[in-house]
């Protein structure tokens, strides 16, 4: 297979097809030219932000006229090749508008320049017109790279949590008793949440003195996350309070995915606790709106997002909708973060999502998977069946 010195990439909202061959050790060029219309300037800048971190590549831009003016597009591509007639240039025809791709491909073929297409379903490259098998791409993106390539700011990667044996035992007991512990755990969640604003201390009242809640408090105290002093719960630190306030389920999902990496080569990166903000237009400050992602991972260079819920989703949310409906709406908005192929799942400890036909239908229509209640006892199997045993 020939390595091309320059890739001309057609920029669109979908970043992955342009990134993978440029980052692959076999295909990596010396130079990448991002051909983009005025509407795609921000998308080109997002691509550049990832490509330039790899070092050794020159990143240039080719300004295109109206993305739907075939004659003007053809002339632009002809002029570009004329200016670089002696260079080893290939066209990555995967992106852009259909008219842009047709114009570029016809010009490159007429000038006897190679054209290749990236199949993101199989992570393979096909060189058009060559009677050779498609070539696999071995480049593996990171979660933060995928998000940045689609125009989002992601803080520097934080050190992932080290889960002690005591915390694993605590999590296992909560999941073993998922059918009976839900209501008391919901009360405990509320206490842990309130303690955030009260110097990690919270008073129990008479309505919060049930035997079931006492058992939950004892579990967290035994794990070293808090101590009870009379009717006051005192959390060890903010990390312990966060773990108690549902962070334990995020950590459990994270560890399940880490264990799956040994079984699936395509599962290449796992992250948790991400805060993501839209980068904003070029030259302007980043957006203030932030999305919180509980757990994210990449499988076959496709972004997968998981929301973890330990609260009672049957309760009314901020508006007229239930918290269950709000959870689905939030996941629908998160699915926009990593391109068209991004997949989502809601992990619901208390099982409310599985009780509502309307919410299950809404989730199914949005392509959102649900793992609910007792299904958490086989979370690894659920993730395997839903995502890792399938192609695409």
174-206 pLDDT tens trace: 999 998 888 899 889 999 999 999 999 999 886
In angstroms, the CA 15 to CA 43 distance is 8
At the top level of CATH, the class of 245-388 is alpha beta
Chain-centroid distance, C-alpha 296 = 5
Name the CATH code of domain 6-139 (choices 3.40.50.150, 3.40.50.10770, 3.20.20.10, 1.10.1840.10): 3.40.50.10770
SS3 118: strand
Q: What is the mean pLDDT of residues 68-90?
A: 96
Q: Is the pLDDT of residue 320 over 70?
A: no
Classified by CATH at the fold level, domain 180-242 comes out as Arc Repressor Mutant, subunit A (1.10.10)
Q: What is the mean pLDDT of residues 221-226?
A: 96
Confidence (pTM) = 0.91
Question: Model confidence over 124-146: pLDDT tens digits?
Answer: 999 998 888 899 999 889 999 99
Domain segments of the chain as ranges: 6-139, 180-242, 245-388
Question: What sections of the chain are H helices per DSSP?
Answer: 16-23, 41-51, 70-83, 98-110, 143-149, 165-176, 178-195, 211-222, 238-242, 248-261, 323-334, 357-365, 379-383
Question: Model confidence over 324-371: pLDDT tens digits?
Answer: 888 999 999 999 898 889 999 999 999 888 888 888 898 999 999 999
Give pLDDT, residue 256: 96
């Amino acid at each position: 297979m020939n390595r091309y010195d320059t890739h001309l990439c057609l920029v669109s909202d979908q970043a992955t097809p342009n990134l993978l061959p440029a980052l692959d050790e076999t295909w990596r060029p010396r130079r990448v030219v991002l051909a983009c219309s005025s509407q795609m300037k921000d998308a080109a800048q997002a691509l550049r932000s990832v490509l330039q971190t790899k070092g050794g590549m020159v990143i240039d831009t080719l300004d295109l006229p109206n993305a739907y003016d075939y004659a003007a597009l053809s002339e632009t591509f002809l002029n570009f090749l004329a200016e670089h007639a002696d260079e080893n240039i290939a066209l990555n025809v995967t992106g852009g508008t259909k008219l842009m791709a047709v114009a570029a491909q016809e010009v490159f073929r007429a000038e006897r320049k190679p054209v290749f297409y990236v199949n993101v379903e199989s992570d393979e490259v096909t060189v058009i017109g060559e009677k050779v098998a498609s070539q696999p791409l071995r480049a593996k993106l990171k979660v933060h790279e995928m998000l940045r390539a689609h125009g989002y700011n992601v803080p520097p990667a934080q050190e992932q949590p080290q889960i002690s044996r005591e915390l694993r035992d605590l999590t296992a007991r909560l999941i073993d008793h998922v059918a009976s512990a839900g209501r008391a755990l919901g009360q405990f969640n509320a206490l842990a949440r309130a303690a955030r604003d009260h110097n990690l201390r919270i008073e129990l009242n008479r309505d919060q003195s049930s035997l079931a809640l006492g058992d939950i408090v004892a579990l967290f105290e035994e794990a070293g996350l808090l101590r009870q002093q009379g009717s006051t719960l005192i959390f060890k630190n903010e990390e312990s309070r966060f773990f108690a306030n549902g962070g334990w389920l995020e950590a459990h999902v994270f560890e399940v995915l880490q264990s799956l990496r040994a079984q699936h080569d395509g599962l290449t990166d796992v992250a948790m606790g991400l805060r993501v903000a839209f980068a904003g237009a070029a030259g302007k400050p980043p957006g203030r709106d932030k999305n919180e992602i509980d757990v994210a991972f990449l499988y076959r260079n496709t972004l997968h997002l998981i929301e973890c819920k330990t609260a009672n989703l049957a309760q009314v949310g901020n508006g007229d909708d239930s918290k269950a409906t709000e959870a689905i709406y939030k996941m629908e908005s998160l699915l926009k973060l990593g391109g068209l192929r991004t997949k989502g799942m809601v992990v619901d400890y208390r099982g409310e999502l599985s009780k509502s036909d309307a919410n299950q239908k809404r989730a199914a229509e949005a392509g959102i998977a649900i793992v609910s209640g007792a299904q958490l006892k086989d979370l690894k199997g659920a993730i395997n069946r839903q995502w890792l045993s399938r192609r695409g």
